[in-house]
């Protein structure tokens, strides 16, 4: 009797499964259902993209690109977004960073300006896409772009290359949607001293300072410091180990520092040498003398009395957990705590400093 009952339940279960599969196939082939599922998905995505909880009283950072050109994998190239109040700046705009900024929900229509540390291609190549992403979202003026000597050449070049595109889009969509007065990049030249720093922006409680870093043969190359409501974030730019950077980052809450891992670079160049890819091997070998190792970055963070050190602009980007461990070799010996690795989509929130209360640093992933 028990055996017959179990057999009956088995047949019932099989029948129900067949009915469920048949219904699923039928519904999946229904154009009405397909349209409904797409509409719901798109509505949810649009609604999520319209949420803007960035900045306000906080100083905030979002990573819209953490890779160097040395093999990006899923990461976009260098891009760091900084929010303070209603202000929103992007530092550098490497390849795919505009797409990544949209993916992580940055409010591109609020973009106040782009700060360039220097003019290597992996720091400027998405400028045109940043322009479009913010223009179509309602940026209220031309896109301000800040950088050292040569910024006018870079901005003029992008405006020339994208000039036809600006015209096409205005003609197609209309001046009410895409005002031509808001099209294009506007250059702001920075002349920072050899030592110390210079204030390049100060408005509504936000102060941005620029300082020089050694990245030869590029002269000058810059880093930037953001101060807002008692909190501070410093972005190193590309640099060798630098006492100038340590001075500019004194007592900062967060130091975002580029890093190159020599052992991983050597593994790549050894493989290229074995394959007789000589030119690329030399190019990668040449990077060793104008970047900073993770241990050196930890030493700079200690010298600057920084609360949190964030590794960024990885050369090469760590492709797995083993490579990530190699990046962190020796770091704890120098800096036992307060050192983390960034990734695309990471968000750092610094609430305003209040009296003698401990400073809070919140780190989350997208």
Just list the catalytic residues.
122
Write down the residue that tokens 């040395």 correspond to: 70
- Torsion angle of alpha carbons 268, 274, 276, 281, nearest 10°? 20
How far is the C-alpha of 147 from the C-alpha of 134, rounded, in Å? Answer: 19
Angle at 187 between CA 181 and CA 192, to 5 degrees: 155
Longest dimension (CA), the chain: 93
Tokens of 223: 């880093």
| Cβ proximity of 55 and 88 under 8 Å | yes
End-to-end CA distance of the chain: 57
User: Per-residue b/e over 199-219, b at no fewer than 16 CB within 10 Å?
Assistant: ebbeeeebebbbbbbbbeebe
Total residue count of the chain as it appears in this document: 366
């Amino acid at each position: 009797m028990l055996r017959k009952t179990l057999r009956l339940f088995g047949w019932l279960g099989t029948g129900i499964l067949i009915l469920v599969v048949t219904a699923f196939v039928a519904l999946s082939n229904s154009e009405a259902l397909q349209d409904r599922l797409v509409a719901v998905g798109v509505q949810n995505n649009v609604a999520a993209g319209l949420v803007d909880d960035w900045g306000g009283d906080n100083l905030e950072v979002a990573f819209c690109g953490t890779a160097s050109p040395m093999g990006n994998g899923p990461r976009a190239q260098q891009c760091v977004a900084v929010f303070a109040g209603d202000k929103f700046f992007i530092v550098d705009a490497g390849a795919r960073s505009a797409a990544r900024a949209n993916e992580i929900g940055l409010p591109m229509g609020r973009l106040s300006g782009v700060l360039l540390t220097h003019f290597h291609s992996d720091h400027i190549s998405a400028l045109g896409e940043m322009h479009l992403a913010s223009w179509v979202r309602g940026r209220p003026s031309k896109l301000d772009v800040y950088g050292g000597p040569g910024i006018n050449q870079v901005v003029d070049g992008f405006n020339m290359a994208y000039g036809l595109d600006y015209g096409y889009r205005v003609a197609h969509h209309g001046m009410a949607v895409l005002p031509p007065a808001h099209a294009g990049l506007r250059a702001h030249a920075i002349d920072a001293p050899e030592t110390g720093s210079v204030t390049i922006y100060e408005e509504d409680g936000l102060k941005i300072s620029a300082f020089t870093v050694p990245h030869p043969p590029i002269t000058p190359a810059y880093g930037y410091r953001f101060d807002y409501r008692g909190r501070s974030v410093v972005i190193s730019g590309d640099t060798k180990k630098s006492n100038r950077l340590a001075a500019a980052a004194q007592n900062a809450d967060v130091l975002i520092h580029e890093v190159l891992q020599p052992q991983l670079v050597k593994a790549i160049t050894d493989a290229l040498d074995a394959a007789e890819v000589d030119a690329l091997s030399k190019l990668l070998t040449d990077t060793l003398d104008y970047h900073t190792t993770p241990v050196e970055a930890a030493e700079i963070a200690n010298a600057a009395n920084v609360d949190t050190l964030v590794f960024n602009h990885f050369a090469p980007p760590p492709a797995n957990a083993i490579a990530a461990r190699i990046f962190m070799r020796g770091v704890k010996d120098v800096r036992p705590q307060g050192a983390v690795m960034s990734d695309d989509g990471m968000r750092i929130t610094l609430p305003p400093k209040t009296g003698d209360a401990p400073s809070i640093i919140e780190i989350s992933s997208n």
